[in-house]
Structure 1
Amino acid sequence: MTTRIPRNARRVYYATEIVARDGRRVAGREQRSTTFREARDFLDRLGVPGGVAVWNGGSRNGNHDALATRHADGSWTQLNRFTGNWEALD
């Protein structure tokens, strides 16, 4: 599925599949999305472990920040920015 990202988008979500090769974790398929839900659905449809990060174009540094992780069993965890802990995502 291809998502058209507007040129002036201030926030882009990256869903990335995590693949293990030769004992190392490397990135597999990736999709850019305009919403977190769309990025999460991409990994759920694939049925693979992975992560969702957000790129904030409006921020000064423009870095990717981790938001959530999909585990091999299909469960999701999200990063709580206040505590720095990973918590279960409903």
Structure 2
Amino acid sequence: MTTRIPRNAKRVFYATESAFRTGPDGKVGRHAAREQSSTTFREARKFLDGLGAVGSVSIWTARSQQTNAYADRRADGSWVALDRVTGTWEPLPDPTSPTK
């Protein structure tokens, strides 16, 4: 899936699949596998959910010119997002579940 990022985008979300490999020393390491850039978190979430993979989403903002952690997809398929005020990871609701 290819997403066109506008040249003047204020935010870009980077979805990265994590792959775990055993090195020659026998240690298991976490490595980046497939990646996708998108302009919305919904697209980034859909990418990782479609792969059914553990991964993370980071966000780049034009204002700060920095990339920061945004959300993680766990092995069980649940999502957690970083609460910037408290610095803790909070569970995200399932987008397919009905809300009030």
Give the structure-1-normalised TM-score: 0.95
Q: 2:77 aligns with which of 68, 74, 86?
A: 74
- Give the aligned partner of residue 36 of structure 1: 41
Q: 1:88 aligns with which of 86, 91, 99?
A: 91
Percent identity over the alignment? 60
Query: Highest Rg: 1 or 2?
Result: 2
Give the structure-2-normalised TM-score: 0.86
- Give the aligned partner of residue 63 of structure 1: 66
The structure 1 segments of at least 4 consecutive aligned residues displaced by more than 2 Å after TM superposition are none
CA distance in 1, matches of 2:7, 2:63: 13
Q: What are structure 2's unaligned runs of at least 5 residues?
A: 23-27, 94-100
Q: What are structure 1's unaligned runs of at least 5 residues?
A: none
Q: 1:49 aligns with which of 44, 50, 54?
A: 54
Displacement of 1:63 after TM fit?
Answer: 1.4
Displacement of 1:58 after TM fit?
Answer: 2.0
State the Cα RMSD in Å: 0.6
Aligned residues: 88
SS in 2 for 1:5: coil
